[in-house]
Structure 1
Amino acid sequence: MGFSSMYTAATGVKSHGVLLQQIGANLANVNTTAYKSGDTFLETLASQSSGKANSGIVSGGISTPGQIGLGTRVATTRINFKEGSFETTNSSTDIAIGGQGFFRVADPVSNASRYTRAGSFHFDKNGQLVDSHKNILQGYKIDDDGNIGSTSQNIVLPMKEETDTYGNKIMVVKSDPKGTDSVTMRTNLDSGAVDNSSSEDSPFFSLLQEWDGTKDTPLTADKYEYNSSIQIYDDNGNKHDLVVYFDKVINDGDSSDKRHWEYIVTVPPGEDASALTGTSGAGLVMAGTLTFSGDGALLNQSAFTLAAGSADGKDLANWEQATLNSNGQPTFSVTLSGASGTASAQTISLDMGITSGTDSWNTTGVTAADIGSNASSLPGMVDGKLNALATTDYYGSSSTISQSQDGFGEGYLQNVSFSPDGIMSALFSNGMSAELYQVNLYNFKNEFGLRREGSNYFSATIDSGEAIQGVARKDGLGSVVSNSLETSNVDLADEFAYMILTQRGFQANSKGITTTDSMINTALGIKK
Structure 2
Amino acid sequence: MGVLSSMYVATSGLNAMGTDMSVIGNNITNLNTVGFKQGRAVFANVYGQTMTGRSNTVNTSQPGSGVYVDAIQQEFTQGSVQASTNALDLAIQGNGFLTVRSKDGQKFYTRNGELALDKTGRIVDTSNRALQGYMNKNGRIQPVLSDILVPQTTVPPKATQNVFSRINLDAGMTEKLKEGREFEKSSNIFDSLGIQHLLTYKFIPTSVAGQWAFQATMDGASLTKGGGSISYPPLGRKTPKTLKGMVGLIQFDGNGNVKSVNYGGSPLKRDANGVVHALYQTTLADKAATPVSFDVVIPTKGQTIRPNRINGVTQQVLQLTQYNAPSSTVEETQDGHKSGDLNNLAIGRDGKIVGSFSNGVQKVLGVVAIASFNNPGGLASVGGNAYIESIASGVPNFGRPGQGGRGALLSNSLELSTTDLGRQMVDMITAERGYQASASIIATDNTILNTLLTRIG
Pairwise TM-score range, normalised by the shorter structure: 0.7 to 0.9
Partner of 2:124: 130
Q: CA deviation at 1:466?
A: 2.4
Q: CA deviation at 1:325?
A: 6.1
Partner of 2:74: 79
CA contact (8 A) 1:94 1:121 kept: yes
User: CA offsets, 1:120-165, max 9 Å, x none?
Assistant: 222211111111111111122232233x32221111123xxxxxxx
Letter aligned with residue 93 of structure 2 = G
Partner of 1:120: 114
Of residues 193, 212, 215, the one that matches 1:261 is 212
Whether 1:174 and 2:154 are equivalent positions in the alignment is yes
Q: TM-score normalised to the size of structure 2?
A: 0.81
Partner of 2:365: 436
Q: CA separation in 1, counterparts of 2:337 and 2:79?
A: 43
Of residues 321, 324, 338, the one that matches 2:267 is 321
CA contact (8 A) 2:196 2:338 kept: yes
Q: CA separation in 1, counterparts of 2:48 and 2:324?
A: 103
Q: CA deviation at 1:292?
A: 1.9
CA contact (8 A) 2:9 2:67 kept: yes
Letter aligned with residue 383 of structure 2 = G
Letter aligned with residue 177 of structure 1 = P
**Judging changes above 3 Å, is the alpha-carbon distance between structure 1 residues 484 and 302 closer, same or farther for their aligned structure 2 residues?**
farther
Letter aligned with residue 134 of structure 1 = N
User: CA offsets, 1:202-256, max 9 Å, x none?
Assistant: xxxxxxxxxxxxxxxxxxxx99622112222122112222211122222x6xxxx
Q: CA deviation at 1:343?
A: 5.9
Partner of 1:512: 441
Of residues 334, 340, 350, the one that matches 1:405 is 334
Partner of 2:186: 229
Partner of 1:244: 201
Letter aligned with residue 160 of structure 2 = T
Q: CA separation in 2, counterparts of 1:263 and 1:191?
A: 15
Q: CA deviation at 1:488?
A: 1.8
User: CA offsets, 1:237-287, max 9 Å, x none?
Assistant: 12222211122222x6xxxxx432111111222xx37659xxxxxxx8611
**Judging changes above 3 Å, is the alpha-carbon distance between structure 1 residues 332 and 497 closer, same or farther for their aligned structure 2 residues?**
farther
Letter aligned with residue 335 of structure 1 = T
**Judging changes above 3 Å, is the alpha-carbon distance between structure 1 residues 492 and 358 closer, same or farther for their aligned structure 2 residues?**
closer
Partner of 1:211: none
Letter aligned with residue 403 of structure 1 = E
Q: CA separation in 1, counterparts of 2:87 and 2:203?
A: 48
Q: CA deviation at 1:39?
A: 1.5
Whether 1:36 and 2:37 are equivalent positions in the alignment is yes
CA contact (8 A) 1:185 1:350 kept: no
Larger radius of gyration: 1
Partner of 2:170: 190
CA contact (8 A) 2:190 2:291 kept: no
Partner of 1:107: 102
Q: CA deviation at 1:510?
A: 1.7
Whether 1:157 and 2:153 are equivalent positions in the alignment is no
Q: Which moved more, 1:294-303 or 1:430-439?
A: 294-303
Letter aligned with residue 302 of structure 1 = N
Of residues 283, 293, 297, the one that matches 1:347 is 293
Letter aligned with residue 521 of structure 1 = N
CA contact (8 A) 1:324 1:331 kept: no
Q: CA deviation at 1:458?
A: 0.9
User: CA offsets, 1:343-371, max 9 Å, x none?
Assistant: 64433444555379599xxxxxxxxxxxx
SS at match of 1:114: strand
SS at match of 2:36: coil
**Judging changes above 3 Å, is the alpha-carbon distance between structure 1 residues 191 and 450 closer, same or farther for their aligned structure 2 residues?**
closer
Q: CA deviation at 1:58?
A: 4.5
**Judging changes above 3 Å, is the alpha-carbon distance between structure 1 residues 140 and 452 closer, same or farther for their aligned structure 2 residues?**
same
Whether 1:449 and 2:378 are equivalent positions in the alignment is yes
Letter aligned with residue 481 of structure 1 = L
**Judging changes above 3 Å, is the alpha-carbon distance between structure 1 residues 437 and 190 closer, same or farther for their aligned structure 2 residues?**
closer
**Judging changes above 3 Å, is the alpha-carbon distance between structure 1 residues 289 and 24 closer, same or farther for their aligned structure 2 residues?**
same
Q: CA separation in 2, counterparts of 1:192 and 1:131?
A: 65
SS at match of 2:394: coil
SS at match of 1:16: helix
Letter aligned with residue 502 of structure 1 = A
Q: CA separation in 1, counterparts of 2:353 and 2:324?
A: 50
1:281-430 equivalent positions in 2, closer than 5 A: 286-294=246-254, 296-303=256-263, 320-323=266-269, 328=275, 329-337=277-285, 342=288, 344-352=290-298, 354=300, 390-395=319-324, 397-430=326-359
Identity of aligned residues (%): 30
Q: CA separation in 2, counterparts of 1:70 and 1:188?
A: 92
Q: CA separation in 1, counterparts of 2:169 and 2:395?
A: 69
SS at match of 1:66: coil
Q: Which moved more, 1:17-26 or 1:64-73?
A: 64-73
Q: CA separation in 2, counterparts of 1:443 and 1:295?
A: 59
Q: Which moved more, 1:14-23 or 1:439-448?
A: 439-448
CA contact (8 A) 2:267 2:279 kept: no
CA contact (8 A) 1:40 1:78 kept: yes
SS at match of 1:288: strand
CA contact (8 A) 2:41 2:72 kept: yes
CA contact (8 A) 1:335 1:343 kept: no
Q: CA separation in 2, counterparts of 1:357 and 1:49?
A: 91
Letter aligned with residue 11 of structure 2 = A
Whether 1:496 and 2:425 are equivalent positions in the alignment is yes
**Judging changes above 3 Å, is the alpha-carbon distance between structure 1 residues 514 and 231 closer, same or farther for their aligned structure 2 residues?**
same
CA contact (8 A) 1:39 1:79 kept: yes
Q: CA separation in 2, counterparts of 1:104 and 1:414?
A: 26
Partner of 1:9: 10
CA contact (8 A) 1:352 1:390 kept: yes
User: CA offsets, 1:314-345, max 9 Å, x none?
Assistant: xxxxx62345666734443333345xx74644
Whether 1:70 and 2:65 are equivalent positions in the alignment is yes
SS at match of 1:47: coil
Q: Which moved more, 1:507-516 or 1:124-133?
A: 507-516
